[in-house]
Chain A
Amino acid sequence: MSSEIKVAIVGQPNVGKSSIINALSNAKLHVGNFSGVTVEKKEIYLKRDDYDIRMTDLPGIYALNAYTPEEQVAKDFLVDEDYDVMVNVVDANTLSRNLIFTMQLLDMHRKTVLVINMVDEIEKKGGTLDEKSIEKLLGIPVVLTSAKENRGVEEIITQIIKLHNSVLSKNKIYYNEKVEQRIEELAKILRKSPHFKSEDYSRFLAIRLIDRDENIYKMIHDLPIFIEAHNALEKMYKDLESEFDEESTTDILANERAAISYNLQMETLDIKEENESLSEKIDNFLIHPIFGLPIFLFFMWALFQLTFVLGNYPMNLIDSIFIETSSFLADFLPKGIFNSVLTEGVLPAVGAIVMFLPNILVLFLGLNLLEQTGYMSRAAYLMDGFLKKFGLQGKAFVPLVSGFGCTVPAYMAARTLKNPKDRIITMLVLGFMSCGARLPIYVLLVSAFFANQNPGNMLFYIYIGGAFLGLIVAKILRTVLFKGEPEPFVMEMPPYRFPSFKALGMDLWIKTRMFLKKAGTFIAIAAMVIWFLSSYPVNNTLVQNYNAKIEQTVDINKKMNLKNELNAKLLENSYLGDFGKFIQPVFAPLGFDWRLSVAVVAGLSAKEVVVSTLGTLYAMSGATETSKGLVAKMRQNVDFKAAIALIIIIMIYSPCLAAMGTFYTEVPQWAWRIFYTIYPNVVAWLLAYGVYKTLALMGY
């Protein structure tokens, strides 16, 4: 019989927790979400001797006074979930700061292993760390590791098993006598409630309450002992704050923990004051007050060049694979609805999305590299001043820039913003960053209506104009909906580190799997719906009439034209056509006919669809954005004012279904989902109408 050991792995950000996990051999990794929230949950399974060890890697957390959604998840897990052993990972380079958090964890008095990672870096500087003293002082086993050199990692498992089979040691962190007295007094009151009979648990809750932990306060709020505990607590706050001459009991405990941690480090770590480190030398250059920004902009520019250049190579290959497969299946499968929906509806649509996988992977690889090397926090430091003017945070720059590639990963990149308000503002304006899929529409319209100007410049104005509009909207949202200053900006800038290829590869593999899963489910279903709407009902008399005409015609070109005409007529009579005429009144003030209206609405499924729909609707089957025929037809059928209005609509209105779906998964609140679904379309319409009318007044 094997027995199971449940382990929680916890530590501050940037201590190398994931590299330790990657260094564990024969481990199975499972990635999911913590229930109800979009915080990534990594679970690691491994077998040693007779034990099944199940580890949960908690998100990086600075302190039990949770601040970000990730930290809240980690804290809830630590306090509420059932686990046998806690593994606390700390960084040897920042030992005393990390130990402040360890003190908070030790308040829980559970079986804990302290893992001190990156000891190699201490040794390289000629330092030594006396782990036996730390073990004695804290009363818990200590393992020194270097995940990079694969040192000590197996020892963690040995200690977990050993600890699991031993009794909990009696050691505790003792605070100042005056504080201890209050902790005991409060714990005694808590123990009157049947929920908190355990001595350790009541002590932990008492400490948390004196630390002004709001979650724990809410927890006792509905219990019969609440009044007594509350009154005792109020008195303690007042007394302790005056005895220690501090503003808050939180500060008293923080100072206590900081003092214990500092002394612990002084006693156990022997290291000389270091000269300028390599990180400092790099930073002298990369965050230089004058050159820092241009260097950063260059990096971003290079990333986008790479995204499009590298991403383009496999693009044609993927495209042709899908085309070949469709045409093979079209002949191979028996004719019928199933054949048509698969080869004309689903496969081309899924192909159109999968085609962008290489771009997305290159973009993500770049962004991961920026994050893992530690440069991302420098970029936020450099951009913060500029973005603050628009009510955004330095870190918002990363998702905003990714938005030029694809809005889907950009929404996910917004996770790096920990503050919920900053995150929602950023996500609400991300759609203004025109994504790569909108490019074909711009190319078509610019070549049809701005033939005399440099098309490249026009595209540049469209993209930059969208970005600026986004920043202005962010400013408005900040002033109207999220009053007050943007959230404070306090961010760790970890030392530069060489990225781990295993971790990079793992991350890309997970991204690929998730992306393909979505393309195969969500996108495929959406495509199926559009296909049915545009193919039915079939007007049989129309088909017979045209087929007769086509048979009578000899000229191949005329035959093609007749076929296209038939397709256009069928489309006009399809459900989608009915729908187009139904919604046309909405777009009529902008000078759109029913075809433009349908193309715009179809673009909600995916922006690539706009051009192909326009092509079909203007009876040019197989049209692409550069096709001269479509350009000419557009010029004949659409007037200049309407074309400008269309560009504005495309720039601003809701992104594709995939992006909207991502937004919904990232933002659980219905109020924001509804607002997000409506406001860009209203803004787009109003702005397009304003410009249309202005142009009309100017005589265009």
Chain B
Amino acid sequence: MKTISDLKIDEEAIVQKIMAKEPVKGRLLSMGIVKGAKVKVMAHTLARQTWDILSNNTKVALREEEAHSILVKGLHE
């Protein structure tokens, strides 16, 4: 399955499952990154180490590891 770190800039997807452990998982949830939420990749750094994700009108900065722990499905899949 795809994860956020597989997405390209400006690509949108739906969150399927969050593999991260607590407390990161709880943090993601409280920032609106929950199952079924729409996410969009706004930017990432040159080395793709840090990601800028838009979800629920909130921009969240994530590391590659956390981005990799969020399973997503493309909008039209």
Instruction: Enumerate chain A interface residues (CB-CB to B < 8 A).
Output: 12, 62-63, 65, 67, 93-94, 96-97, 100-101, 248, 250-251, 254-255, 258-259, 262, 279-280, 283, 287, 289-290, 292, 377, 380-382, 384-385, 388, 394, 485, 488-495
Contact = CB atoms under 8 A, between A and B. Distances in A.
Interface string B42-58: 11111101101000111
Contacts of B47: 385
B24 A492 contact: no
B6 interface: no
A492 B31 contact: yes
Given A100-B30, A251-B35, A495-B59, 18 more contacts: A97-B31, A248-B22, A251-B25, A255-B34, A258-B34, A258-B35, A258-B37, A259-B36, A283-B52, A289-B43, A290-B46, A377-B61, A384-B63, A385-B45, A385-B50, A488-B66, A491-B61, A492-B60
Contact of A490 (B27, B35, B36): B27
A492 B58 contact: yes
Contacts of A492: 31, 58-61
Nearest to B19: A247
A493 B61 contact: yes
B66 A489 contact: yes
A283 B47 CA distance: 18
B7 interface: no
B23 A65 contact: yes
Contacts of B34: 100, 254-255, 258
12 contacts: A12-B30, A94-B32, A101-B30, A279-B59, A280-B42, A290-B46, A292-B45, A380-B61, A381-B61, A382-B45, A388-B63, A491-B61
B26 interface: yes
A490 B66 contact: yes
Given A65-B23, A388-B49, A493-B52, A283 B42 contact: yes
Nearest to A100: B30
B11 interface: no
A59 to B, nearest CB: 15
B3 to A, nearest CB: 15
B29 A490 contact: no
Nearest to B34: A258
A382 B52 CA distance: 10
A489 B29 contact: no
Nearest to B46: A289
A292 B44 CA distance: 11
Contact of B56 (A94, A250, A494): A94
A394 B50 contact: yes
Nearest to A104: B30
A287 B50 CA distance: 11
B57 A63 contact: no
> Chain A CB within 10 Å — which of B26, B46, B60 has the most?
B26
B26 A67 contact: yes
Nearest to B51: A381
A93 B31 CA distance: 13
B26 A65 contact: yes
Contacts of A262: 36
Contacts of A495: 59
A490 B22 CA distance: 12
Given A381-B52, A394-B50, A489 B61 contact: yes
Contact of A250 (B26, B49, B57, B66): B26
A489 B50 contact: yes
A382 B65 CA distance: 16
B62 to A, nearest CB: 6
Contact of B30 (A63, A251, A384, A394): A63
Contacts of A491: 60-61
A41 B46 CA distance: 40
Contacts of B43: 283, 287, 289
A93 B56 CA distance: 9
Given A255-B35, A283-B42, A488 B26 contact: no
A12 B60 CA distance: 14
A46 B61 CA distance: 39
> Chain B CB within 10 Å — which of A12, A280, A493 has the most?
A493
B40 to A, nearest CB: 11
Given A97-B32, A289-B43, A488-B20, A62 B61 contact: no
A96 B56 contact: yes
Contacts of A382: 45, 50
A307 B22 CA distance: 41
B50 A381 contact: yes
Nearest to A384: B50
A402 B58 CA distance: 29
A291 to B, nearest CB: 11
